[in-house]
Amino acid sequence: MQLPLYQIDAFTDRLFGGNPACVMPLEEWLPDELLLQIALENAVAETAFFLPQDDGYALRWFTPEIEMDLCGHATLATAHAIRTLHAYAGDTLHFYSRSGLLKVTFEGERYALTFPARKPVPTVLPPEIAESLDRMPVAVLQARDYVLVYETETDIRQIQVNRQLLDRINLDPGGVVITARGQDCDFVSRFFTPQASIFEDPVTGSAHCSLIPYWSGRLHKKELLARQLSDRGGTLYCTDEGDHVKMAGYARTYFTGHCEVPDNIHF
């Protein structure tokens, strides 16, 4: 069985930047075990699988370990694939997912994702996280992810996270996002996922479901520019819309091809 396979860099306007996602169109759902094996073989943070449904597309995301409840960069990558590789003529896409209906609109070359807001609330920092950090945050919040707020962008750039210690905590499907005011943008962040094959995620759209309402309230503005300070780096153009957030970015296609999956594979 031969299946189409694309790899797309999301939240970037250049190749080898942003967050790479694999995207695979399907005609019907394959067994979950097979989808997970494909994601493991692809060896990127997320693989998105989609197929036509009603007036849009059903969409699922798999890491090499688990199925995710929400993924921003792989949704953006899927929208880019449908628009550029499948010659989609409209200006809006609707995706049906585990997190409900998600909308992506086209703004020139930019893709704008409308996702549910996940406003974080104050909480206590677990010792497994605290002991893994070489400096302590000034505030700790949580929605799906733990949100650790620091004083400066320099803290975000220079922080050392001990993976061996952080891996003691299981946050599936969440992670730990660290954030601060930006020097040339509104806010910056980095994202770490304990017990995952890819420890630091290059650009994490789903984490901005919490970061956008937090920084919108703190900075008293609805339109925000965000940067994720991973080695690859990424830029997100953000809007706080109350119950929802909008995050926009660019994408670039790295490759298109096919993969071979045995028809008689058993689990």
Q: Count the alpha carbons within 13 Å of 246 in the hemisphere toward its beta carbon.
A: 15
> Which residues are catalytically annotated?
46
Tokens found for residue 2: 């031969």
Please tell me the distance from the alpha carbon of residue 116 to that of residue 78, in angstroms, as a whole number: 18
Please tell me the distance from the alpha carbon of residue 202 to that of residue 232, in angstroms, as a whole number: 6
Please tell me the distance from the alpha carbon of residue 255 to that of residue 46, in angstroms, as a whole number: 16
Q: What are the CA-CA distances from residue 135 to residues 83, 85, 151, 214, 257 (Å)?
A: 43, 45, 11, 21, 44
Which residues, in sequence order, are CB contacts of 214 under 8 Å at separation 6+?
119, 120, 141, 147, 149, 179
